[in-house]
Amino acid sequence: MSGRLIESLASTPALAALFSDESVLGAMLEFEIALARAESRNGVIPKQAADAIAAAARRSNFDIPALADAAFRAGTPAIPLVKMLTEQVRTVDADATRFVHWGATSQDVADSAMSLLLKRVEPVLIADLLRLEKALAGLSENHKDSVMLGRTILQPAPPVTFGLKAAGWLASVCRGKRRLQKSFRVAAVLQFGGASGTLASLGERGISVAQALSAELGLGESPAAPWHTRRDELATLICDCGVLTGSLGKMARDISLLMQNEVGEASEPGGEGRGGSSTMPNKRNPTACVLTLAAAHRVPGLVASFLSAMVQEHERGVGGWQAEWPIVAAVVQSTGVAIASMAEAAEGLSVDTQKMRVNVESTNGSIFAERAMLMLGAELGRDVAHKIITAAVKKSTEEGRKLSAVLAEIPEITIHLGPAELNQLETPEQYLGSAEAFREALAAEADREDDDKEQ
């Protein structure tokens, strides 16, 4: 992975490379090359000048540390970039130097370069999301009958199935992916407005140059107008990253809790150098969950920072858009870490159905108190039934006996519930309600996505 050690838990190798200094520089130079070519095709600058600019705009010709230092003084990397590019063009064709960056402004370079990076990021994120969806769909189907404790406020509750839990994760991932894809389409677009966002320097050829430039960069249809201080569509992408990362964080939280030794119902894949401890050989830490939860902690604050930067002044902002590069890079990379980590976890997740059953039975039937109360409520009234069952649960807990056994000793109960009913009271499969119907509905999110594509 390229990048600093301090960021090693905040990106993936693929995303770190996409947001590396070399990649960012390359994207800015791509803009300058495409701008020259688009203007040449529209008769704004000579073709010879466009060729000279393209020949000079090679990453190897630029000193990145010097560019970064100059950007700090200029308030934007675009100004020193254009100066350096102009000097490089001079070595190729001195006459072409006057056409470098013709009609553009600093923010055009910065925003369009970020759009290029985002366009390249999307398939990386989507590929990992598809892995995750496939793994979760398999877990949901394979464990549709795997009964486990429901847990509310971290305490035992009536049973659910692991298939239903996995389907819940799957549905949120599918929804997040759809939102993300839509946001990428509208956010990763050309920025080209010139000084005040009117392209006045290009006269009547401004729109045609913009259209040609957008096509040259492969950014799809040119936006209706420059968006220098209108950041809502990029903000939507950032927010959608935040929502998806939060959904992945919920999945990571669930898995990490299921991995606790005293629970032991699921575990991440292990392997050389993964999940160990520097001092405790017995440890098998939830590494993927750790990385995902770390991302889920970081991203909300970053999203808030981006939203606060939307309040920009008139036609060009003071500090607003200048704040965005590191925020966007951090949000996207954090989202990517969370997606990749959960894909790896889901693909290799071990599910211990036997331990799930043991944990259900360890409650001595107390999780079926609701069922018993409802069965009695029709005969005794809810309040009376609730009082009797509460006392029975307390006695069951204190004596370490099955709830059904305690209930079988209470005359008010045995009058209405026979031995057969009491024997079946603590059968979890008989108290799952609509769990399977809900699981199927949630799992259908992925199928609905496939149907949408076909249409």
Catalytic residue numbers, as ranges: 277, 316
Q: Residue 157 pairs with which residues in a beta bridge?
A: 150
Residue from 155, 320, 303, 159 nearest 228 by CA = 320
Return the structure tokens found at 33. 């090359």
Q: Residue 250 pairs with which residues in a beta bridge?
A: none
305 to 54, 165, 228, 267, 298: CA distances (angstroms): 36, 33, 18, 35, 11
> One-letter amino acid identity for 108?
D
| Length of the chain counted residue by residue | 455
Q: Residue 156 pairs with which residues in a beta bridge?
A: 151
- Tell me how far apart the alpha carbons of residues 209 and 211 are, in angstroms, rounded to a whole number: 5
16 to 5, 11, 13, 121, 340: CA distances (angstroms): 12, 6, 5, 10, 13
- Tell me how far apart the alpha carbons of residues 348 and 432 are, in angstroms, rounded to a whole number: 27
Residue listed under structure tokens 């925020």: 327
> One-letter amino acid identity for 369?
A
Q: At 25, phi and psi to the nearest 5? A: -60, -45
Q: At 100, phi and psi to the nearest 5? A: -65, 130
Q: Residue 298 pairs with which residues in a beta bridge?
A: none
